[in-house]
Chains A and B, each alone.
Chain A
Amino acid sequence: MNYQAQTDLTNAATDFAISIEKLGKMYTIGHQRAKGDGLRHTFESALRSPIGWLRARREKRLREVDFWALRDVSLEIKKGEVVGIIGRNGAGKSTLLKILSRITTPTEGRIQINGRVASLLEVGTGFHQELTGRENIFLNGAIMGMTRAEIVHKFDEIVEFSEIEEFIDTPVKRYSSGMYVRLAFAVAAHLEPEILIVDEVLAVGDSAFQKKCLGKMGDFAQSGKTVLFVSHNMEAIRTLCQRTVWMKNGHVHKDGNAHDIIEDYFNTVSNDATFSFASSTYGLTIEKVVLKNGLGEECGQFYPGQELVVEISYDARKRVVRPVIALGVVGMNGTCFTSNMLLDGFGPAFIEGVGKIACSFKSIPLLPQNYTVKMSIRSENVEDFVINFQEVACFSVAGDLAEYGYKGEYLAWAPRSTSVVVPYEWLLPDGTKAAVSLDLPVHERETVLLP
């Protein structure tokens, strides 16, 4: 019996990289003490009345709420698989990565890992502001588990990848944030693990840098290594991963082919959770973000060609000077279109007190699908995001494509193509023209044209 188990284990060891069984992580909420309520409280109350203190401790214990950030998670990830993990904030994705990276320990369950793990929960962990780029490469490399010899060996490659040769002996506190991130990622890109665990690192840096990161991760996946990748960027997940795990409330909600899961994810994003957010540093509260149609009615469903109004209600306790707002409509194939004050330059001089800002997209040329709205607000110094969220609202586009001039047999394949359709016209060899437009349904177009 025992022998049997032993051989099973060794056989299994050859084909999985990570095996997770019934994993759970519990946090106790209400455990965090108020400021200045540390030892003094414990000692003082214990000294004053030992019995009362014991009783209070028990009561406190009862008042605390156990919160399972992760429960009953079982997964097996094969060697060479590239797995994307998606889910809303608080779904347990980061907790899972933290346990896999051994930063924190599970409350229950068991994990078996075959292979050297490198986890990238943040770029530039351990970078020290006062040290130079060169010194930080060594420090960061060592913290990420590289040996001194390895770092020396790869040093030139790392510097070249980071594109900051001239500043390598400058303290990183003098770097721009772009340079900083490039250097940090360069070090991480030269780790040589068998299993790579990546959290939302792509959320930082400019788009050229993000492409570079994705490219590097693609190379990594191509070379047959195992990758676990958490992201809100569905496009990145779809390009990189074959398999996707959708986490919800600390459980694995769905697990399967990346394409199907992402489609599913977009089909079930519901409007129930209304977005609100408070930034204490900037004294700005976003009270809600609502979607309205052209008539000014709150609305969650639109038809192709209708007007879509995104209305942001804010309360700026401190004056925010020259806020730069950007909105984007995101479909399951990525961002469809955006409105961006950084580009159009139409931002207000400042916002203060309670107010509203709205953006009206005059005619949405979108295929019937589900969409989310992303929003970022930057401060006067455009490098700083006051807020930056991938999902502040969601809506669906309904409608029968046939009404818009579509006649194809494979309309069910529409979600596979990009979601935005600008009006177009085929000019065929026999001289016929055929037009398609997501502007207005065909019959309405005629009535509009009549007068």
Chain B
Amino acid sequence: MRRIFFFLLLTCISYMVVAQDDIYPAKEYKGLLFITNGTVHVGNGQVLENTTIEVNNGKIMRLGQNLPVPQDDVKVFNAAGKHVYPGLILPLSDIGLKEIGSGVRGSNDYRELGDINPNIRSLVAYNTASAMINILKSNGILLANTVPQGGIISGSSSVVQLDAWNWEDAAYLADGGIHINIPSFATVRTAPAAAQQDANKAALEKTEGIKSFFRQAKAYLAEESHAEVNLKFEAVKGLFEKKQKLFAHADRIKQILIAVDIAKEFGFELVIAGGSESWQIASLLKENNVSVILNAEHNLPATEDEDIDQPFKTPALLQNAGVLFALNDHASNTRYRNLPFNAGTAAAYGLSREEALSAITLNAAKILGIAGKTGSIEAGKDANIIISEGDILDMKSSVVTHAFIQGRQVRLENKQTQLNERYLHKYGLK
């Protein structure tokens, strides 16, 4: 039996390396793997105490108390006293597309020119060498939806797993979402009242433009054959076939209603991305089967008068209305690393901790269309699992010690842990 003492290994590696280039993606692991006696947070609301997870060939085989662990060539991780969670899923990100947002144009590949770009694919530009990726992984984020921006129809997003050599390796679900930006009906607050009227008109015109595109696409796709192939129309075929979802980026009520209107006309499956005002029309969203990704918990209220904790309690309001929602962590200064704490805040303001966990695991998987493969620790799913010292939603105890993607134990060092080691060494603090 090969029992691996994880932190010992980690320490050794840390001493050896000083640059991130040495943090290799993990090799495929064919074989049995056990995570034993942990407190397993399934992701669907259940918590299983003192439970062992059996993994084979990267898939979760079964869970149970006192599962027999064979004494031969298997990997065993003792999670007694620790918390075991599904790998966290980041539902909206520019990971691998945007390295340094401000002042380094060459490091940015997230925004294409043009208004109607459904054929733009984030996946092909996804940079597995981005220094951000390992930092997210070390906080338990194992999968991310990487999303193109810009224009009115931005392109398609893909879900990637965060331990890959190249984008083809990384692809977890290719082109699962088509992203559109619902035009804004609001102007900047300092604009004169007349500008407000113009903004309304312009927004409605743009909306008509979106609809017109989809009407033409529908007509085109109904043709038996095409004299000239239109790449833009071809790119949204999956929407009409319900193999893709429409991600409408919208925060204000009017924008959300417009998105619902578009989805209804074409029968698309709709996800509202952003959704800061979604709580005000939660029942309507529920009736229309619309799911929501709340972009950022840690936001100020939208107006001076609004309840001071409105963004914190928005998830609870959606939960109570039965809306399927996930949480994101959009904060340009911390680059998504605080995803679990967004959920923690939601738990402090009305969600149960397990509901909050679902909002960054199983719910996200459902919304992204990968719930058949991941999002919870259940038999048959990929072994995308993390182990934490304590409650992962609370920063004072959220220390991820192990992470597995499809059963591969991935490394949790990153540029920051390495620089830490380097300077502890300089100062003789080790």
A and B from one complex: no
Interface residues, chain B, with chain A CB atoms under 8 Å away: none
Interface residues, chain A, with chain B CB atoms under 8 Å away: none
